[in-house]
């Protein structure tokens, strides 16, 4: 018997402050970061009985050690959710949390769930990307993909080759702007409401309290970035200054069917419209957001002109600029990453999708004239992911 597709809403999202690899979370477990996020979601939404959570989906790229053992289930148990709440783990590299959201949202739309927790974690200080992996030698020996596809920084250099108009100066200018926007967002208290403070422990420093994003470099200048080395290619264009770093952090969000949210007294921050994932040549993985966005737009019956708020993950400045150039959007368009992005905050791989959603929800709250926005990101091994959202605060709803 055909089922009615239900509306899915983003109720709330939180994250830990992001840290530098081997920085403030050097001696903090990855699963403990996730547990903090789940507990905070329950604390912030007291009208939600814990037994109403139907699923916990948590992503991690490197699923070993304290990021292994089906982390969605173990984190749910340790966060105090009932033993009846199932959970699972997801891996789509950088788009892990985004995939946790879209996968469970599909379950809500179908009627399999009413309320879920979805998110991601990456502790790159404990588990560097690629730890313990064994790529099939056919990838190289049979030239199935360019060997540079296995080094994310090299794929960014390749993207510069594809877009010669995106110079190092442009990438550096975008990076400086990201730092400036992030600092302004902090000054206006637009980021802190979604941060979950984390108690930390260091053998050298003793107890600490992580309350802010550690990677931020306010005051960065073009002159500063011009001095940095290009580690992926001699005389290249990608540096530590115009790319996200190696980071630790976790995110989690609450999703629900629209009717369940209403029944439980939960106020939606966004409504899911559509999503799309797409593959591209692995050696230029940074272009992935373009075909993914085309898929999502087509499914939604929208065009890029309908999108008035963008949260584009800043794995590399060139990747964002390639997306903007494709759509004829200016580098400094105020609709794009107005609160800064991963170049400033950090990019703990599988966790970043929900950070984008948190910031888009803030855009929606601040800008009731905006109806549609999107979150998009490139994904390792040549993919992209995009989710389109509708603003429940849109002033047109009142007409």
127 is catalytic: no
> Rounded distance, CA 151 to CA 188, Å?
37
CB-count exposure of residue 335 (10 Å: 0-12, 13-18, 19+): middle
> Rounded distance, CA 239 to CA 157, Å?
10
In sequence order, the β-bridge partners of residue 201 are 207
CB 196 within 8 A of CB 36: yes
Angle at 283 between CA 280 and CA 288, to 5 degrees: 35
Dihedral of alpha carbons 148, 154, 156, 162, sign: negative
117 three-class SS: strand
Which phi-psi region, left, alpha or beta, contains residue 235 (left: φ > 0; alpha: ψ -120 to 50)?
left
Catalytic residue among 37, 94, 127, 160: 94
Name the H helices within the chain: 30-44, 71-78, 96-110, 138-141, 152-162, 168-187, 222-226, 258-264, 289-300, 317-327, 342-345, 352-366
CB 10 within 8 A of CB 389: yes
> Rounded distance, CA 192 to CA 164, Å?
38
37 is catalytic: no
Structure tokens at 280: 């591209």
- According to DSSP, residue 130 is labeled T
CB 350 within 8 A of CB 62: no
Structure tokens at 217: 């470099």
Catalytic residues: 94, 347, 378
């Amino acid at each position: 018997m055909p089922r009615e597709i239900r509306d899915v809403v983003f109720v709330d999202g939180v994250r830990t402050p992001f840290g530098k690899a081997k920085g403030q979370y050097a001696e903090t477990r990855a699963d403990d970061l996730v547990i903090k996020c789940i507990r905070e979601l329950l604390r912030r939404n007291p009208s939600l009985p814990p037994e109403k959570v139907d699923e916990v989906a948590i992503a991690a790229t490197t699923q070993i050690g304290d990021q292994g053992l089906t982390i969605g289930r173990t984190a749910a148990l340790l966060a105090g959710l009932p033993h009846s709440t199932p959970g699972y783990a997801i891996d789509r590299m950088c788009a892990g949390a985004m995939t946790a959201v879209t996968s469970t949202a599909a379950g809500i739309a179908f009627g399999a769930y009413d309320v879920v927790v979805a998110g991601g974690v990456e502790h790159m200080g404990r588990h560097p990307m690629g730890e313990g992996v064994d790529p099939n030698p056919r990838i190289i020996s049979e030239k199935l993909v360019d060997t540079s596809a296995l080094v994310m920084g090299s794929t960014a250099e390749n993207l510069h080759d594809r877009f010669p108009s995106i110079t190092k100066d442009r990438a550096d200018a975008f990076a400086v702007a990201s730092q400036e926007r992030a600092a302004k967002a902090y000054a206006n208290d637009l980021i802190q409401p979604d941060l979950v403070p984390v108690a930390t422990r260091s053998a050298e420093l003793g107890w600490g309290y992580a309350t802010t994003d550690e990677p931020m470099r306010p005051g960065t200048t073009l002159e500063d970035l011009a001095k940095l080395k290009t580690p992926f290619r001699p005389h290249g264009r990608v540096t530590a200054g115009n790319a996200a770093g190696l980071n630790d952090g976790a995110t989690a969000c609450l999703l629900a069917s629209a009717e369940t949210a209403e029944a439980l007294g939960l106020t939606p921050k966004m409504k899911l419209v559509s999503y799309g994932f797409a593959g591209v040549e692995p050696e230029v993985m940074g272009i992935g957001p373009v075909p993914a966005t085309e898929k999502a737009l087509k499914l939604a019956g929208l065009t890029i002109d309908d999108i008035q708020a963008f949260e584009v993950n800043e794995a590399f400045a060139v990747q964002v600029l390639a997306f903007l150039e494709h759509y004829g959007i200016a580098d400094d368009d105020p609709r794009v990453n107005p609160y800064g992005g991963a170049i400033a905050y950090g990019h703990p791989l599988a966790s970043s999708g929900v950070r984008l959603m948190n910031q888009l929800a803030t855009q929606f709250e601040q800008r009731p004239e905006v109806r549609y926005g999107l979150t998009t990101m490139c994904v390792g091994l040549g993919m992209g992911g995009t989710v389109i959202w509708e603003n429940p605060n849109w002033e047109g709803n009142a007409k």
